[in-house]
Amino acid sequence: MGKNPAWTWYIVWYFFVGGLAAGAYMLAAVADLFGRREDRPIAKLGYSIALPLVLLSTILLTLDLGMPLRTLYMFRLVRLGSPMSVGSWALLGFGLASLVSLALVLRDRPGDLRIRRVVAVPGGLLGFFIASYTGVLLGATNRPLWAGNDWIGPLFLVSAFSTGVAGLAVLAHDGVARLRRFHLLAIGAEALLLVVFLGTLGAQAALFLSGSLAAVFWVGVVVVGLVAPFALALAARARPLEAVAAILVLVGGFALRYLVLTGGQT
């Protein structure tokens, strides 16, 4: 990986889609490992979302690299010192776990739940890694906004979980009430980490607060991605409003990744 990469829209979408896949899988794994029988539809939906999104992430990464052979080249060796190499192998492992989990939940034979729980442990850990490693990847560059910043990874992790919950909330027919609690916690944690991240930037935070990216920050991330969906999720009991709140979180999650990626290259 180059020290000063110029990342395109493909990578913005790759970060967002990969985080969404990881968040959906992690929530499905939690439902399988700790949930009750009525949480099974959440697990099924989470696995159903994760696999196609992992495949889409791989396509987006391939498009950014320009040639499919360059993507395959990453799997010739495991380079532990390269975040891109480690991330590529983690994405492959996460994709395999998503495939197995979805196959088991669709087959749904006696004993499959026990196997799903076994797979959910490494799959959930890989999802945890995928959700946060993109922030670590940015920190491995020497762009002033990203370099050595330890809070991009946690911010992307919580945002991925938040978008994962939102993705399930848009599509779920059952278990929405339980999703609402996760939704509120994830949005609150993301808001807290966003404040911490801005605090680590020092004078560079002005780029987001009052500079050229202020509109994306205040409208796209703060209002659309955090304040409005939190208020709706806190007060709403009508299904359409809950769906609107979830869609706003997805928009805000994309805006956050666009903001951080663009800010580092401005």
Distance CA 89, CA 50 (A): 17
Q: What is the pLDDT of residues 85-118, one digit of tens each?
A: 677 788 889 999 999 999 999 988 888 899 999 9
Instruction: Answer yes or no: are the C-beta atoms of 14 and 64 closer than 8 Å.
Output: yes
pTM, to two decimals: 0.88
Q: What is the pLDDT of residues 55-82, one digit of tens each?
A: 998 888 788 776 666 666 665 656 656 6
Q: What is the pLDDT of residues 109-153, one digit of tens each?
A: 888 899 999 999 999 999 999 998 888 778 777 777 787 788 898
- Which candidate, 212, 187, 208, 188, places its Cα nearest to that of 199? 208
CATH superfamily for domain 9-265: Formate dehydrogenase/DMSO reductase domain (1.20.1630.10)
Task: List the chain domain ranges.
Answer: 9-265
